[in-house]
Amino acid sequence: MANEAANQEQNFLIDLLRATYQNQEVYPILQHNLSKLNDNLALMLRKWVSDRFAKESANASNIVGVIVNYIR
């Protein structure tokens, strides 16, 4: 059950980053997932970024750009 919740949170993070990257409206995604806006999201984002930088170092600047756009 905890694993399913973690998968849902990770999917939410990916959806949110994808929408940000594609310049889509993120507020409906956030509104629909208010329960997932917690400290764990920040930790998951940090881990996701670290993993992506390790796997896709050539795309690091693109990844950072998406995240910066998200937090604006």
CB-count exposure of residue 1 (10 Å: 0-12, 13-18, 19+): exposed
**The pTM is what?**
0.72
Q: What digits encode the pLDDT tens for the residues 8-37?
A: 898 998 898 889 888 899 999 999 999 999
Q: Could you tell me what percent of the chain has a pLDDT over 90?
A: 24
Residue environment code for 18-55, b if the CB has 16+ CB neighbours within 10 A, otherwise e: ebbeeeeebeebeeebeebeeeebeebbeebbeeeeee
